[in-house]
Amino acid sequence: MRTVFWKDQQVQMIDQRLLPGEFVIASFATVDEVARSIREMYVRGAPAIGATGAYGMVVAAQASRAADTAGLLADLAAAKEVLDAARPTAVNLSWATARLLETAEEQVANGATLEAVRAALLAEAETLADEDVAINRRMGFHGAEVIPDGANLLHHCNTGALAVVDFGTALGVVFACQEQGKNIHVWVDETRPRLQGARLTAWELMRAEIPMHLIADNAAGHLMRTGKVDVVIFGADRVAANGDVANKIGTYKLGVVARENGIPVYAVVPTSTIDLNLPDGDQIPIEERDASEVTYVGETLIAPVDVPVYNPAFDVTPHRYITGIVTEEGICYPPFEKSLRQAKEAAEARIRATRSQRSGAQQGQDHHSTSATSATESPPATNLTP
Ligand code: MRU
């Protein structure tokens, strides 16, 4: 099943705060509630947050009391601000809400009625969610090309089906290797403080029957120095134009130790995670979260009451520590300025082609002549080398 989906006029999602103990579906029917689901991490993982933001814009459109389309656009712009503020680091969120707002603007420019705009927004959010699944599978198979049979992978945080709409980014590569019959083994970082590795990645890999061991975050350096890791692999919440990668706190030191030990490092990201507006990782906003994430494990207080805490949720790994960035358009290698731009442009062309196909179909035009690849079809693999 999907991590996040639209049902009964609501955004519905797996409540990831409760896994692996309980499997509960939570529903949200207002923009503020959808923003809360993101802020409080019912849903987490950059692409899953993006899809939730898209459905949040649908909620905004349905709830709008605007008398005309200009009023609806104003309500959607306000909703975008609320949703984007829920979590600052993952750029997929503002990317998705911008895409929905653009859809509405295009519809209004073409003279659509209020109801037609609402319908177009729901269709766009569903398309975005469908594309996410297809994109993940493409990324997974591109990434599998660089994973040798018999490899030991080191993985941080959770990048599986739970972090996206379905399949996964870095764990998608693991699932693709399994589909190809490769024997692989995954060292699963527990990922303090919220334990996405222990709670979510271990749960997903065990269900998929992929060989793994859960390790304390502090064990990673020892495993790399003693030859037990062949590839370090993770996702990202934002990639700057120069290839600097923001991901879950603790990723940076994996990159440094991997370099020290000659181990390749791959980030696996949909192009929606690439932010060409930011020249380097120093510009990426780093979310700071509540002290209780550090002072509690579950219900248990593990530090003195009122201890001062600093809890940055992400760090930035400079691009010099990254071997390659796997996207749905192929694997980007240095110089990343060029290869990331190529990947982003290819993906944007794909989205435009899908949109014009759809609007052509809506207008009853003959669209048999288009040769564009749909966003859900697989293109041939490309290596985005310089
Ligand atoms: O705070 P989270 O759990 O949302 O952080 C998630 C990560 O850091 C993932 O590695 C990232 O979103 C990439 S997953 C597809």
Q: Is 157 in the pocket of ligand 1 (CB under 6 A)?
A: yes
Long-range contacts of 249-252 (CB under 8 A, 24+ apart): 249/312, 249/313, 249/314, 249/315, 250/156, 250/189, 250/191, 250/192, 250/217, 250/315, 251/156, 251/157, 251/314, 251/315, 251/317, 252/315, 252/316, 252/317, 252/321
Selection from 271, 248, 274, 304 nearest residue 41 by Cα: 248
How many angstroms does the Cα of residue 44 sit away from the middle of ligand 1?
Answer: 6
Of 137, 154, 157, which is best to mutate to test ligand 1, by the most ligand atoms within 8 angstroms of its C-beta? 157
pLDDT, tens digit (0-9, with 9 covering 90-100), for 173-221: 999 999 999 999 999 999 999 999 999 999 999 999 999 999 999 999 9
Q: Give residue 317's pLDDT band: very low, low, confident or very high (50, 70, 90).
A: very high
How many angstroms does the Cα of residue 90 sit away from the middle of ligand 1?
Answer: 8
Written as one letter, the residue type at 331 is I
Judge whether residue 11 has pLDDT over 60. Answer: yes
Q: Is 52 in the pocket of ligand 1 (CB under 6 A)?
A: no
How many angstroms does the Cα of residue 269 sit away from the middle of ligand 1?
Answer: 11
237 is catalytic: yes
How many angstroms does the Cα of residue 315 sit away from the middle of ligand 1?
Answer: 11
pLDDT, tens digit (0-9, with 9 covering 90-100), for 112-153: 999 999 999 999 999 999 999 999 999 999 999 999 999 999
- Minimum mean pLDDT range among 86-100, 285-299, 370-384: 370-384
Of 17, 42, 44, 289, which is best to mutate to test ligand 1, by the most ligand atoms within 8 angstroms of its C-beta? 44
Separation between Cα atoms, residue 87 and residue 12, nearest integer Å: 19
CA of 47, closest atom in ligand 1: 15
pLDDT at position 367 is 40
Q: Is 159 in the pocket of ligand 1 (CB under 6 A)?
A: yes
Please provide the average confidence, as pLDDT, over all residues in the chain. 94
Catalytic residue among 132, 217, 237, 275: 237
Q: Which domains does the chain have, with CATH numbers?
A: 4-137 (1.20.120.420), 140-343 (3.40.50.10470)
Q: Is 47 in the pocket of ligand 1 (CB under 6 A)?
A: yes
CA of 157, closest atom in ligand 1: 10
How many angstroms does the Cα of residue 157 sit away from the middle of ligand 1?
Answer: 6
Residue with tokens 């940055």: 312
Separation between Cα atoms, residue 193 and residue 316, nearest integer Å: 17
Query: Left, alpha or beta for 111 (phi > 0: left; psi -120 to 50: alpha)?
Result: left
Q: Phi, psi at residue 166, to the nearest 5°? A: -165, 150
Q: Which residue's CA is minimally distant from atom 14 of ligand 1?
A: 159
Beta carbons within 8 Å of 245's beta carbon, 6+ residues apart: 236, 238, 239, 251, 267, 269, 281, 316, 317, 319, 322, 325
